[in-house]
Amino acid sequence: MSGNFGPPIDGGPTIEPWGSAGGVDVGPWRAGRGYSAGGAISRALPGAGLGNQVSQNAVETFARDRYVMFNGEQIYDVDTSSIMVLPTAVNGWRTLLAIRNSSTTAIDIFIAFGVDATSASVFRFEQDEIMQWDTAVPQDDMYVIAASAGARISIAVSQITLPDPAPVESP
């Protein structure tokens, strides 16, 4: 990966801040940056040499959206009346949602987000069908209904709670 793209997004546990390094503008030398095998940023500035020297102003990074924790699965019996099985996350965001029609017989299940499910809902699952959202994950209340009694749905969902933003210091 090279070019004048600035600091890497997932280059390692730290990212150098924008601006200058030791009073030298790093802009013209960005294309010459290299990366060590360990993922830390190394720099190719005149007189600086190469190495894994990360400044004290570097910020730690952690891509929280790349990791999920399911804390088990949720299994619901589904009938011919729409029920809410997954409320909107409070103080957090869903990062992954997996749904399976785990019915033991061939019963279709219909899913809707934000409104009661009906047989006309967009998402229809036949027995043992699975769908996973992991990029653009629906955040609304999730409702489900079955074409006939005796259906079952299995859900695995992961959520993150983002930290409060750091206070802004005035100069």
Using an 8 Å Cβ cutoff, are 81 and 156 in contact? no
User: In this structure, what DSSP letter does residue 23 have?
Assistant: T
Pick the closest to residue 89 from 135, 132, 142 (CA basis). Answer: 142
More confident residue, 3 or 131: 131
95-123: pLDDT as tens digits = 889 999 999 999 999 999 999 999 999 99
Rounded Cα distance, 56 and 34, in Å: 19
> What pLDDT is attached to residue 55?
64
> What pLDDT is attached to residue 91?
75
91: left (phi over 0), alpha (psi -120 to 50) or beta: left
Rounded Cα distance, 14 and 8, in Å: 10
Looking at the DSSP assignment, which residues form a beta bridge with residue 101? 153
Residue whose structure tokens are 């009661």: 116
Q: CA Rg, the chain, in Å?
A: 24
Rounded Cα distance, 103 and 134, in Å: 23
Terminus-to-terminus CA distance in the chain, angstroms?
Answer: 36
More confident residue, 21 or 126: 126
Q: Which domains does the chain have, with CATH numbers?
A: 14-60 (no CATH), 65-160 (2.60.120.770)
Region 3-30 average pLDDT: 49
3-state secondary structure of 27: helix
Cα-Cα-Cα-Cα torsion 70, 108, 82, 123, nearest 10 degrees, comes to 70
Please, where are the H alpha helices in the chain?
none
- pTM for this model (two decimals): 0.59
32-69: pLDDT as tens digits = 444 344 444 444 444 444 455 566 666 655 555 566 77
Per-residue pLDDT for 146 more than 70? yes
